[in-house]
Chains A and B, each alone.
Chain A
Amino acid sequence: SYDLTQPPSVSVSPGQTATITCSGHKLGDKYACWYQQKPGQSPVLVIYQDTKRPSGIPERFSGSNSGNTATLTISGTQAMDEADYYCQAWDNSTGIFGGGTKLTVL
C-alpha cells in the first residue's frame, strides 16, 4: 500500500517560515494537496494540485512537489496558523492522507 509520511510536529516562531514535508514514493508524479485542521473543526483545503491556493487562503501559504517530497511552506507564520496539517494524494484512485503534522507557533 502507498504511504505518505509527515513529521509529527513542527515548531516555528511568529513571523518566521514554517516548512512541513510529506514524503511518498514518486509523490512528485502525483498531485498533492494540504489541509489545515484546527481543534474541533473540519479540515480546510489550503493548497491543491501541488501549488494552487483556494480563494480566501492567505498568500503566505505555498506548496511545492517534486521527487518524493511535497512541501507546505507558511511564510510569516502567525499565531492563527497553529493547527494540524495533513497532506493528501491519490494512488490508483485510492485516497491517501499523511499522518498529520502539528504546527506549534511559539
Chain B
Amino acid sequence: QVQLQESGPGLVKPSETLSLICTVSVYSIRSDYYWGWIRQPPGKGLEWIASVYHSGSTYYNPSLKSRVTVSVDTSKNQFSLKLSSVTAADTAVYYCARSNGVYGDQISDRYFDLWGRGTLVTVSS
C-alpha cells in the first residue's frame, strides 16, 4: 500500500516553475508529523529542500528559500512543492518524506522515517 506518492510533470522548461504534489495515504496529514521535500541530482547526494507542518508552519533551505514554496492541503491529504525559475541544476529525483518524532517534538528532533518512491524532474527546453 503506497503511503507517500509524488506526482507532477517530469519535464519542466528553464525559467518556469516546477510543481509537485505528494499524496499521503494511510496517515492523516493533520497528525503530528512534519512533511518534507528532498531532492537528489543524478549521481549525487541528498539535499533537503523544505518542510511543512499541517498548521502551515514552513521551513526552507536558505539556499533555495527565494524560489521555494511548500504548502499543505488538508482536505486532500496532500502537500506540495513549487520551485520557481528553474535551471538545469534543478534536475533531480524529488522525494517527499514524513518527519516523525515524539508528539510535540520540534523539527530539529525529527527524522525522515517514511519516503516516497521519488520522481525524476528534468529541466530542459
Contacts and interface: CB of A to CB of B under 8 A. Distances in A.
Given A35-B112, A54-B113, A97 B107 contact: no
A33 B45 contact: no
Nearest to B45: A100
Interface in B41-84: 45-48, 51, 59, 61-63
A1 to B, nearest CB: 7
A49 B47 contact: no
Given A42-B95, A42-B118, A90-B108, A96 B48 contact: yes
A100 B46 contact: yes
**How big is the A interface, by class?**
20 to 34
Given A31-B108, A42-B117, A93-B108, A86 B62 contact: no
Contacts of A95: 36, 38, 48, 51, 59, 61
B46 to A, nearest CB: 4
A90 B107 contact: yes
Given A42-B117, A94-B61, A95-B36, A31 B111 contact: yes
Interface of B: 36, 38, 45-48, 51, 59, 61-63, 95, 106-113, 115-118
Q: 6 tightest CB-CB pairs across the interface, nearest first?
A: A95-B48, A90-B108, A48-B111, A42-B115, A33-B111, A97-B46
